Every structure is written in C-alpha cells, then in structure tokens.
C-alpha cells in the first residue's frame, strides 16, 4: 500500500471487494493510510442487489465521517440519480467498464460493448451505458477494429449528444466526444472537449493521454509530452500503459530523435503488441536510423495486422492524420524511414 501511495501520489487508499450471491450483495471496505500502512477504518455492508445505491450512499457517508470531510457533492448527486436505475443495468455497466479497462484487444472490447448494449436495452435512460458504448465504438475506430467506421462514428456521436444534454458534467462524456471529434478530423474541437474532460476530473488519465495525442496530431509534439507523462504518473499500472510509451516514441520520432523513439516504441510494443501502429512507427524509426533489417521486420508485422494500410497514401486517408502541420513533421521523419523500409508512396 505504501508503494501504491507513492506511485499514485495519494495519502489514502480505499480497498474493498464485492461478492454477489443470488440477490444478496456483500461489500467489504477498508480505508488505509498510504504513508504508514495503518488501517483507519473497515466495515462490511450486506444488502439486496436492488438496493446497491443505498449501500453506496451509506459507504460514502461513513467514509466522509471517518475522514472528517465532505466528499464531492457530485458523488451524492450521482447516487441520488442512480436510485431509479435498474440494478441489472447498473451491474452490466460496471462489467462494461471492467472489460474496457483491461488490456486492449478485440475480444475485450467486444465483451465491453455487449455489456453496455445489454445495459442500454434494459434501461434506455442510462447515461453511463450511453457513454460507455460510445467510448467503445469510437475507440474501435481509432484502433482499426471497427467493421463499419462511418456508422459507428455516427452512433457514438448520437449517444453522446443525448448523454451530454441530460448531464453536461460527465468527464467521460466529454472524453468520448473528444475522441469522436478527433476521428472526424475536427482537432480543435477535440482539444476543447479534452480540456473540458480534464477540468471535470483532474485524475482522468485517459483524458490527459488522448489530449496529448490530439496535440501531437495538431503538429505540437513538444506540447504533448507533459500530458502523456502526466497520464503515466496518474496511472502507472494501467494495463494499456504500452500506448503511453508508444505515443511518446512517436513524438520523439517526429522530433527527429530516432534512438529515443526506438527505445520507447520497443517498450510500448512489449506491453501491447496487438496494434499495428506501434509496428509501423517502429519500422519508420528503425528506417530513419538506418537499421533496415529491423525496419523491414517491423513493417512486415504491421502489414500482417493491418494489410489494408499498405502505402503512405492509404495511411494518409485517415481523417485525423490530415492536419498539414502534423504531416509536415511526418514527411521529414517517419515517411523517410518507412520508404527506406520498403513502404511505397502509393
């Protein structure tokens, strides 16, 4: 616990477990001082599945009294809003987020999408199900896992407009809308949505990371670095931290530092080898260095994962890649390396 506290920069850690048996739910909770490892408070709550909101409210209240402070009012408002939510839908939403936060893969994304879809079927008014489903749809587009990008993007935007109309203060809703705007090539609007997401939740590591990615695509790689590094500090144990290192490697390649780029991209690939992008950018970094055997091997892995991206022209068809400032940096670095690796222009 002390190590976790130091890594995350926090004073207190709330640890707990939830066990469901039929319609009964048992919640064990304990509060720990991360500086000393001392257990400050522990309790057990047993409730009916249909009364989870009441149990959550009770846990929050006892925790607030223990810390002698008033927890964020937004938490209380959220609990009140959820009292009318179907408990089965809420359970499915929690499962969806659990699948979303696992290591990214098509299979995990599919499980998350199914959970959010089922939650929305049970409770068509669920804001969280809308946000979760939109995030899955737009993330699949960004990662090249969508079989119908245009339709998925339109659906994600519709879900988020409905969610934000009902509650404009959801950090993850603005995060998802920022991802939608980026996929549409509307990078300035994406930047603004990420700023809103971070203002609403200063601990939203995914928002910091993707804010940096948007700055990178705006042709501002140096400005992107502190935001991605902030995401790593906030969530060093993220199962998808490989994406953070991958993006830092891409940034250093655009800054014409192929040695640092290779080191970071290799770390990103080791943590998550499923995305074609890390292999493609490694090919460019190795090519720029003059390590052509390594460059060709990385390019072959990229083509095996995403055979349709087989030329610079096909790569440039991505809407979010079409910013002139970003492309000018790529032409001086990544494109040179890829051509050396044998990647054609057309």
Domain borders along the chain are 1-83, 217-346
At residue 57, the pLDDT reads 72
Strands in 24-33's sheet, in edge-to-edge order, are: 12-21, 24-33, 39-48
At residue 345, the pLDDT reads 94
With tokens 């502190």, the residue in question is 226
CATH domain 1-83 topology: Rossmann fold (3.40.50)
CATH architecture classification, 217-346: Alpha Horseshoe (1.25)
Coil/strand/helix, residue 43 = strand
CB of 200 closer than 8 Å to CB of 164:
no
Per-residue pLDDT of the chain (346 residues; tens, 9 = 90+): 888 888 887 878 888 888 888 888 888 888 888 888 888 778 887 888 777 777 777 777 666 666 654 444 444 455 455 555 566 888 889 889 989 988 888 999 999 999 999 999 999 999 999 999 999 999 999 888 898 999 999 999 999 999 999 999 999 999 999 999 999 999 999 999 999 999 998 889 999 999 999 999 999 999 999 999 999 988 888 889 999 999 999 999 999 999 999 999 999 999 988 889 899 999 999 999 999 999 999 999 999 999 999 999 998 887 566 789 999 999 999 999 999 999 999 9
At residue 85, the pLDDT reads 58
At residue 74, the pLDDT reads 41
37: left (phi over 0), alpha (psi -120 to 50) or beta: left
At residue 65, the pLDDT reads 60
């Amino acid at each position: 616990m002390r190590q976790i506290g130091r890594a995350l920069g926090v004073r207190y850690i709330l640890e707990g477990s939830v066990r469901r048996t039929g319609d009964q739910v048992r919640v064990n909770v304990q509060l720990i001082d991360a500086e000393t490892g001392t257990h400050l408070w522990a309790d057990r709550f047993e409730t009916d599945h249909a009364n989870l909101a009441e149990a959550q409210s009770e846990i929050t209240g006892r925790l607030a009294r223990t810390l002698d402070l008033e927890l964020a009012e937004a938490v209380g408002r959220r609990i009140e809003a959820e009292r009318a939510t179907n408990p089965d839908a809420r359970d499915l939403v929690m499962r969806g987020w659990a699948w979303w936060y696992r290591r990214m893969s098509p299979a995990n994304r599919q499980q998350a999408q199914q959970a959010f879809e089922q939650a929305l079927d049970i409770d068509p008014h669920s804001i969280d199900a809308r946000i979760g489903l939109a995030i899955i749809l737009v993330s699949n587009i960004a990662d090249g896992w969508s079989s119908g990008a245009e339709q998925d993007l339109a659906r994600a935007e519709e879900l988020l407009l409905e969610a934000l109309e009902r509650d404009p203060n959801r950090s993850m809703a603005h995060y998802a809308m920022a991802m939608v705007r980026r996929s549409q090539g509307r990078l300035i609007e994406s930047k603004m949505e990420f700023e809103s997401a971070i203002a609403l939740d200063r601990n939203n590591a995914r928002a910091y990371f993707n804010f940096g990615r948007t700055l990178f695509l705006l042709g501002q790689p140096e400005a992107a670095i502190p935001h991605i590094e902030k995401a790593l500090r906030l969530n060093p144990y993220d199962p998808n931290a490989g994406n953070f290192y991958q993006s830092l490697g891409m940034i250093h390649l655009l800054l014409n530092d192929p040695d640092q780029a290779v080191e970071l991209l290799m770390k990103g690939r080791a943590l998550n080898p499923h995305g074609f992008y890390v292999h493609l950018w490694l090919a460019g970094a190795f090519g720029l260095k003059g390590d052509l055997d390594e460059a060709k091997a990385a390019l072959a892995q990229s083509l095996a994962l995403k055979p349709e991206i087989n030329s610079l022209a096909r790569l440039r068809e991505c809407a979010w890649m079409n910013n002139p400032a970003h492309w000018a940096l790529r032409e001086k670095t990544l494109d040179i390396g890829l051509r050396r690796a044998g990647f054609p222009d057309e």
